[in-house]
């Protein structure tokens, strides 16, 4: 049974270090993918308070909206489109300090100013992306990349 998340104050690194074992406890032993993705978005939203955090899943060669926390979002994104579709196409994490400077950025919320998109790669294929959006410019950095990549590694797809 899930217990309340322990919210950590401190540096970003300290926050992730407190969060990762809690995410592990939430998803370990639970085989349902959607349940696990949902709890990961809940934990990240609670800890960091970002505007939007969620997964898009690759289905029939499109990204389709999965579990998320935050305002309603676009449901489908094609390969190479927006930050999510580009992270999928390149199979690499993208950090966007200012979304207005990213050609083709897909605006789901006018409040979003910066974002990070982390692909989930299994057997050499991108199966999903994790997208986090912030109301602040330059919210995300290498620390987010390191820990969000570690978090998506924990998911059994």
Q: Is residue 139 part of the contact set for ligand SME (CB under 6 A)?
A: no
Residue from 19, 23, 40, 73 touching ligand SME (CB under 6 A): that is 73
Map tokens 């999510």 to a residue. 84
Q: Is residue 127 part of the contact set for ligand SME (CB under 6 A)?
A: no
Please check whether residue 112 is in contact with residue 51, taking contact to mean a CB–CB distance below 8 angstroms: yes
Q: Which stretch binds ligand SME (CB under 6 A): 21-29, 34-42, 75-83, 142-150?
A: 75-83
* Lookup: tokens for 91: 């199979």
**Total residues in contact with ligand SME, by rule CB under 6 A:** 14
Q: Is residue 44 part of the contact set for ligand SME (CB under 6 A)?
A: no
Centre a 10 Å sphere on the Cβ of residue 90 and count the other Cβ atoms it contains.
12
Please check whether residue 7 is in contact with residue 46, taking contact to mean a CB–CB distance below 8 angstroms: yes
* Lookup: tokens for 25: 């406890």
User: Which is nearest to 130 in space by CA: 75, 65, 59?
Assistant: 65
Q: Is residue 106 part of the contact set for ligand SME (CB under 6 A)?
A: yes
Least Å distance, CB 37 to ligand SME, is: 14
Residues forming the site for ligand SME (CB under 6 A): 52, 73-74, 77, 82-84, 105-106, 108, 112, 115, 131, 133
């Amino acid at each position: 049974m899930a217990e309340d998340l322990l919210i950590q104050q401190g540096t970003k690194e300290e926050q992730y270090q407190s969060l990762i074992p809690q995410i592990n406890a939430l998803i370990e032993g639970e085989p349902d993918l959607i349940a696990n993705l949902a709890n990961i978005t809940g934990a990240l939203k609670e800890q960091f308070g970002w505007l939007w955090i969620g997964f898009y899943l690759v289905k029939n060669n499109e990204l389709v909206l999965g579990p998320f926390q935050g305002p309603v979002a676009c449901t489908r994104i094609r390969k190479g489109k927006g930050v999510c579709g580009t992270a999928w196409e390149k199979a690499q994490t993208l950090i966007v300090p200012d979304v207005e400077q990213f050609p083709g950025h897909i605006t789901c919320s006018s409040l979003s100013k910066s974002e990070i998109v982390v692909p989930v790669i299994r057997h050499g294929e991108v199966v999903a992306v994790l997208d986090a959006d912030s109301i602040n410019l330059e919210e995300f950095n290498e620390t987010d990349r390191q820990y969000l990549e570690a978090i998506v590694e924990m998911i059994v797809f």
